[in-house]
A and B are shown apart, each in its own frame.
Chain A
Amino acid sequence: QSVLTQPPSASGTPGQRVTISCSGSSSNIGSNYVYWYQQLPGTAPKLLIYKNNQRPSGVPDRFSGSKSGTSASLAISGLRSEDEADYYCATWDDSLSGPVFGGGTKLTVL
């Protein structure tokens, strides 16, 4: 069981907007930055969002992150077939003194 809770799956049709949630606690999301990683099939994870809502260079503005209290969300607008991937949230956990990941959400583009 992961420290951070994500829905195991999400889906949408091309052009739609989908959101993926990540729930934690006061010792992790509630007091630290949240990151999101995208893992395309058969590849290594890639940083998608850092410091809650910042996009690295090259990441389309269709991807956005937000955080409120002990939860965070990743939103993908204008869904494309190439967005079909696993998405992981991550943050620092004060109690564990280390980074923790969510269990991952498999996004299917119908």
Chain B
Amino acid sequence: EVQLVESGGGLVQPGGSLRLSCAASGFTVNSNYMSWVRQAPGKGLEWVSVIYSGGSTYYADSVKGRFTISRHNSENTLYLQMDSLRAEDTAVYYCAGGPYYYESGGYGVSFDYWGQGTLVTVSS
């Protein structure tokens, strides 16, 4: 059974930092397209960041330069270092993973598995 378990959320002041973790079991982090997706209170899903199986990383413009995605292969864990946090970063953060491919129908990113989410609240 696949499990993704996030931790590290909490209340932080504007300008502060937090590090989120996503521990995986039954699923290999470094063999899949691993992302962080967030959901502000009462809002929809927003993709935040990705680390490809090859190690390349990409970020949404809204977090570029402030967030850093990484992974620890031997611990099978995904991380998100969040610095210079703003009120608008308040959200439930989910780690999600699955295959990434390019086929006849174009590019595909399938978030087959999701964690339960961890709440980050940025407030003074």
Task: List the interface of chain A (C-beta within 8 A of B).
Answer: 2, 31-33, 35, 37, 39, 43-47, 50-52, 56, 86, 88, 90, 92, 94, 97-104
Which of B9-17, B66-74, B75-83, B109-117 has 4 or more CB atoms under 8 Å from chain A? B109-117
Task: List the interface of chain B (C-beta within 8 A of A).
Answer: 35, 37, 44-47, 50, 58, 60, 94, 96, 98, 103, 105-112, 114-117
Given A43, A50, A88, A94, which contacts B107 in the complex, CB threshold below 8 Å? A94
Determine the chain B residues whose CB is within 8 A of the CB of A45 once the complex forms.
Answer: 37, 45, 94, 96, 111, 114
A92→B111 contact, CB < 8 A: no
| Nearest-Cβ distance from residue A48 to partner chain B, whole angstroms | 11
A98→B47 contact, CB < 8 A: yes
A33→B107 contact, CB < 8 A: yes
Determine the chain B residues whose CB is within 8 A of the CB of A94 once the complex forms.
Answer: 107
| Nearest-Cβ distance from residue A12 to partner chain B, whole angstroms | 21
B60→A98 contact, CB < 8 A: yes
Determine the chain A residues whose CB is within 8 A of the CB of B98 once the complex forms.
Answer: 47
A50→B108 contact, CB < 8 A: yes
A32→B106 contact, CB < 8 A: yes
Residue on A with the closest CB to B116? A44
A33→B45 contact, CB < 8 A: no
Determine the chain A residues whose CB is within 8 A of the CB of B44 once the complex forms.
Answer: 2, 86, 88, 101-104
Some 17 contacts from A to B, beta carbons below 8 A apart, are A32-B107, A33-B106, A44-B94, A45-B94, A47-B98, A47-B112, A51-B105, A51-B108, A51-B110, A52-B105, A88-B45, A97-B58, A98-B47, A98-B60, A99-B47, A101-B44, A101-B45
Which of B35, B60, B109 has the most chain A CB within a 10 Å cutoff? B109
Given A97-B58, A98-B60, A47 and B47 contact (CB-CB distance below 8 Å): no
